[in-house]
Structure 1
Amino acid sequence: MWRVFVPLLLTLFFENSLQDSASKYSRINPSNNSPNPKTFPGTTDSNASQLFNSSQLQPLINVSASVINHTTGIINTRIIPSAYVLAILIGIPSNVFVLACLSGRKVLSSGILYFSLALSDLLLLFSLTFRVHYHLNNSDWIFGELACKLVTACFYGNIYCSLHAHMCISVMRYLAVVHPFLYRTMRKRYCAIWTSLTIWAVFAIAMAPEFVVQQSFRVSGQEFVTCHDIQPYENASYQVLIPYRLSLICVGFFLPSMVIAFIYGSIIYHLNRSSQDWKRYIKASTLVFVIFLVCFAPCNSLLFAHYVKLYTQRQYDLYAYYRVAVCLCSFHSCLDPFLSYLLTKTSTSQVKFRSFSSIPLKALSTI
């Protein structure tokens, strides 16, 4: 995976240096005093009422030359959509296969959570198909404002749904290993169903603010419409979105990440103290956790730092790096079915797990 993304980051660095020298040739007036641009910030056009017509559904927005260069550069229009296409080609068939297998028979409590995870990943990958067209079309959104809001909400909402589904699956495994007696007395299917429904309901509501504001804008002096990439943060309604999105990252990423880190550490610690040989499962768990961090941590950490700088210093330079890192999230969506199979394969290699009171019981193979 590093062989794929290290060249992407190197290309991004080279593109930034080239853009600085090429900005003087941009079609945007360099004397524009609008704030340098999540998204990139821009300023609404003061002459929008004169330039707006009945065939143009998006309001006009002014941005600087560097923003145009980032938006229409090779990273945004070729490399990022290529990564999305690869994730879509692998992820959609594999997640459809998981859903078909789980829906065709009565499943355990973990099967319900895996169903929720596969459905969330599938919706995220479907939303990427629209983003692929958008990027390949030179960052020109042709599907309208409502579709832009739906795709944006679907993308971010399902990322956080996936994170919390992973957290719930790890909690079930933690209870099975560390608190086996409590796990055996739980109404696991009931808890799994209501947990999944709660996650979906919470993040569906959390995405509501994205539908309140305008997401698509026609760039003044250009022939393309952006979707979510440029927003006028000088407006009060958009300034409120910054602390909202910071809170969403904390609840959607940092909270489940800390829980998952504690749980995997506890599981590995307790399995190492067991009389059984769980080396294969420990290695598989470690691999899954490392891939989880590699895929989700750079994207969400950069996005959090970006909003902090945007809110405190009105700087947006981290957003270009975030757009590359977000490709990792899409790859995790296509890896989930294979990682789930890996954990299931290693956990069923040994059915018995002897607790510290020397009472044999089924643990990891039952979840």
Structure 2
Amino acid sequence: MADFVPGLLICLMAVQTIQHDGNRTRTKTNISTVAIPKTFKGRIYKPNHTNQLPALLHPSTNPSLYVDPEDPVTAYTTGILSTWVIPSSYILAMLVGIPSNAYILGFLRVRLRANSMSTVVLYLNLALSDLLLLLSLALRVHYHFNGNNWIFGEISCRLITALFYGNVYCAAQTIACISLKRYLAVVRPFLYRRLTKTTLAMGTCLVVWFLFGAAIVPELLVRQSYQVTQLGITTCHDVLPLEEKSHSPLVLYRLMLVCLGFIVPFLICIYAHVVVVYHLRQSGCDWRPFIRVSTVVFIIFVVCFLPSGILHIAHYIRLFSSGDDRLYGYYRVAVCLCCFHSCLDPFLCLLVSKTATSELQFISLREIPQRQAVRA
């Protein structure tokens, strides 16, 4: 599986590159310094010079955006990547992920016991986040197959966009919390034994969902759907008017979202995995099954989340500095890998549960000499 996912990413990026071969000559237009990531840029089309009320007051109306016919948005919205490859990937992730995550929710609920409550709570939180993410893909599948034409209205566009990106970062944060818990159990077992693990796990989940709510509120307050006059479609989140003042407060919000939703969880996972593997190898016992499982989980996390995180940051920098939005298509491909991680999480959960006995045994072995040192 670790070899399949990078190959899929390379193939999808190759398709995106082919789409842009005929669109390399682009007209240069002026753009303000306000930039929003994860979107193509567009300009509000105003046939009259009258003032318009904010879109928030009239979510049912669809204002028009103008885009240059030679901009990458034309190749993206009409090409095979967004109209076939991406929705097909979403369908595959939904077919595998929805039933498996539903099964994991029932499986973990049965295993709720006092001695494993903290671990089960974290995995329940991860399964719920993955399930919400996969369910939010249903309308986006129709949107892409319909030629990137959104027909479900502005309110539903805001909700689907907020749920999609909110749950992507929520899943990454939950995985980081699981990695941190494993780090404490293996590297700091004496401290780990003294913690009120169930209360701490529930508090951690509440913090994650609080950050989830903080992440989706700005998405709900800003218009997401616009008519693109040249293409005859209504896009959802893919094209936004970057020069409008209504979107400028999102700049700081996007930067904070990248840091809290990707950079911090990614650094935690790297540090926790490296230190845990180092201590297991230094223990003098054979912990190879546990190390292999932990390494597989870490590799899948990196492969699924790292491309979207890097492209997100790179797209933001290029959009902010020069108004170049050509990386957005590649970013949308990388986001598909996050969806595949959501459908792989249930299988990883079952795989990790098989090594739980080894982890508890290691905690006990590490705790004995530390107790002796304290008594001395």
- On whether the aligned pair clears a TM of 0.5, the verdict is yes
In the alignment, the residues of structure 1 paired with residue 180 and residue 122 of structure 2 have an alpha-carbon distance, to the nearest angstrom, of: 11
Please say if 1:6 is aligned against 2:10: yes
Q: State the Cα distance separating 1:33 from its structure 2 match.
A: 5.4
Distance of 2:157 and 2:249 partners within structure 1: 20
- 1:227 maps to 2:236: yes
SS of 2:285's partner is coil
Alignment correspondent of 2:41: 41
Change (3 A) 1:251 1:92: same
CA distance 1:350–1:232, change in 2 (3 Å): closer
8 Å CA contact 2:43, 2:66 repeated in 1: yes
Distance 1:312 1:350, change over 3 A: closer
| Residue in structure 1 matched with residue 63 of structure 2 by the alignment | 59
Q: Deviations over 1:196-251 (max 9, x none)?
A: 01110122122211122111001114321000000001112223323321221111
Instruction: Find the counterpart in structure 2 of residue 364 from structure 1.
Output: none
Deviation at 1:348, TM superposition (A): 2.7
Q: Look up the SS of the partner of 1:348 in the other structure.
A: helix
| Aligned mates of 2:255, 2:189 — CA distance in 1 | 37
Shift of the 73–307 alpha-carbon distance from structure 1 to 2, 3 Å rule, reads same
Structure 1 segment 85-104 matched on structure 2, within 5 A: 85-104=91-110
Could you tell me how far 1:312 is from its partner in structure 2?
A: 1.8
Q: 2:366 aligns with which of 355, 362, 365?
A: 355
- Return the TM-score normalized by structure 1: 0.89
1:69: which partner in 2?
Answer: 75
Partner of 1:16: 20
Give me the whole-angstrom Cα distance separating, in 1, the residues matched to 2:228 and 2:31: 14
What CA distance in whole angstroms lies between the structure 2 residues aligned with 1:330 and 1:97? 18
CA distance in 2, matches of 1:202, 1:248: 9
What do residues 91-125 of structure 1 show as CA deviations (whole Å, max 9, x unaligned)?
00110001111223424211000000000000000
Offset of 1:293 from its aligned partner? 0.8
Name the aligned partner's letter for residue 344 of structure 2.
L
Distance 2:30 2:224 in 1: 18
Q: RMSD in angstroms over aligned alpha carbons? A: 2.5
Q: Which of 286, 292, 299 in structure 2 is aligned with 1:283?
A: 292
Residues 83, 327 of structure 1: 8 Å contact kept: yes
Aligned residues: 350
- Asked whether the equivalents of residues 42 and 62 of structure 1 are also in contact (C-alpha less than 8 Å), the reply is yes
Structure 2-normalised TM-score? 0.87
**Is 1:191 aligned to residue 200 of structure 2?**
yes
Indicate if the aligned counterparts of 2:67 and 2:230 stay in contact, CA closer than 8 A: no
2:317 equivalent in structure 1: 308
CA distance in 1, matches of 2:310, 2:264: 13
Give the AA of the match of 2:127. A
The amino acid across from 2:181 in the alignment is M
Task: State how far apart, in whole Å, the 1-side matches of 2:126 and 2:158 are.
Answer: 22
8 Å CA contact retained: 1:34, 1:63: no
**Structure 2 CA distance for aligned equivalents of residues 244 and 88 of structure 1:** 29
The aligned residue for residue 354 of structure 2 is 345
Q: Percent identity of the aligned residues? A: 44
Residue segments in structure 1 that go unaligned for 5+ positions in a row: 24-29, 361-367
Question: Is the contact made by 2:83 and 2:148 (CA closer than 8 Å) also made in structure 1?
Answer: yes
Say yes or no: does 1:79 pair with 2:85: yes
Say which of 230, 236, 241 aligns to 2:245.
236
1:198 and 1:290 map into 2 onto residues whose CA distance is 26
**1:159 counterpart letter in structure 2:** V
CA contact (8 A) 1:34 1:62 kept: no
Measured after TM superposition, the shift of residue 319 of structure 1 is 0.9
